[in-house]
């Protein structure tokens, strides 16, 4: 029975991989980003929710001429990101949260670091991960907007933004309106298809905001469901279609 299930899954995965036009892509999203931006100069990439730098490393590998700016407010990751920056000069850590203002926020830290957020997990997320949502501590962290940061750091332009900040993606994007209009070619973001945090942004809000700034949805990646099959979250690439010739 197990072999039959595995074989069935592999057949579906291969079919999905080969057939273009599916709603969900099995391709590596970072390789997809590299392909989409082939022929375009990529000087700076933002990794919001950098944690220990794992995704920043992937972005640096895909864009070998770019600097990656890793935004991570959780003090538990400061040592690892500082060490990474010494090892890799193209990595620039920023120990603050991204938002739509520069007011400090309370970062709630939980047993599972991937759940840490400025927002409170709701009933659905607590049911999905009861152990992971056990409260550990709350820390006050500084904030900036991407537009303010760009001006302060004198960054000429950011072509790629990656967001994985647990419901705060909407606030980060609102604080990047200038960059989105002037420089950004692609956004790779986590999307909450159903609410998981109190007041956290969900898919429809992110989608509408990005479309208002000229972006189009390219594809979805890694959707997650609960035990009953309810779609919870996933990731997506949004692109500037005219600038990328799509």
Q: What is the pLDDT of residues 150-174, one digit of tens each?
A: 999 999 999 999 999 999 999 999 9
Tell me the whole-structure pTM to 2 decimals. Answer: 0.90
Select from 3.40.50.720, 3.40.50.150, 3.90.660.10, 3.40.50.2030 the CATH code of 29-99+144-244. 3.40.50.150
**Domain segments of the chain as ranges:** 29-99+144-244
Distance CA 69, CA 56 (A): 8
Write the CA distances from 217 to 13, 44, 101, 220, integer angstroms.
Answer: 22, 22, 26, 8
Average pLDDT over residues 83-88: 98
pLDDT of residue 119: 97
Task: Name the one residue in this structure whose structure tokens are 């189009």.
Answer: 216
* Per-residue pLDDT tens over the stretch 127-141: 999 999 999 999 999
Which whole number is the average pLDDT over 215-230?
96
Per-residue confidence (pLDDT) for residue 14, from 0 to 100: 47
Crossing angle for the helix pair 29-36 and 54-62, to the nearest 10 degrees: 30
State the chain's mean pLDDT as an integer: 92
* pLDDT at position 26: 81
How do residues 171-202 score in pLDDT, each as one tens digit?
Answer: 999 999 999 999 999 999 999 999 999 999 99
How many angstroms separate the Cα of 40 from the Cα of each of 35, 36, 148, 182? 10, 9, 25, 15
Closest CA to 131 of 111, 147, 146: 111
Instruction: Inform me whether the pLDDT recorded for 10 exceeds 60.
Output: no
Q: What pLDDT score was predicted for residue 25? A: 75
- How many angstroms separate the CA atoms of 210 and 239, rounded? 9
> Distance between alpha carbon 198 and the CA centroid of its chain, in Å?
19
3-state helix, strand, coil in the chain (%, to 5): 35, 25, 35
């Amino acid at each position: 029975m197990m072999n039959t299930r595995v074989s069935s899954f592999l057949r579906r995965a291969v079919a999905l991989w080969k057939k273009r036009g599916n709603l969900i892509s099995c391709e590596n999203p970072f390789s997809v980003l590299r392909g989409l931006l082939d022929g375009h100069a990529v000087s700076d990439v933002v990794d919001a929710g950098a944690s220990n730098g794992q995704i920043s490393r992937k972005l640096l590998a895909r864009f070998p001429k770019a600097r990656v700016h890793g935004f991570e407010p959780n003090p538990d990751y400061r040592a690892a990101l500082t060490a990474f920056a010494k090892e890799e000069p193209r990595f620039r850590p920023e120990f603050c949260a991204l938002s739509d203002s520069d007011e400090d926020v309370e970062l709630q830290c939980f047993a599972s670091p991937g759940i840490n957020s400025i927002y409170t997990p709701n009933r659905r997320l607590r049911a999905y991960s009861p152990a992971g949502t056990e409260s550990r501590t709350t820390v006050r962290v500084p904030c900036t907007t991407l537009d303010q940061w760009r001006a302060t750091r004198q960054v000429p332009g950011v072509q790629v933004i990656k967001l994985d900040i647990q419901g705060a993606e909407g606030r980060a994007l609102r604080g990047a309106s200038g960059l989105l209009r002037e420089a950004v070619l692609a956004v790779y973001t986590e999307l909450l298809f159903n609410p998981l945090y109190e007041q956290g942004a969900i898919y429809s809000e992110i989608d509408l905001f990005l479309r208002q700034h000229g972006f189009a949805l390219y594809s979805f990646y890694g959707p997650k469901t609960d035990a009953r099959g309810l779609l919870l979250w996933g990731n997506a690439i949004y692109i500037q279609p005219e600038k990328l010739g799509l």
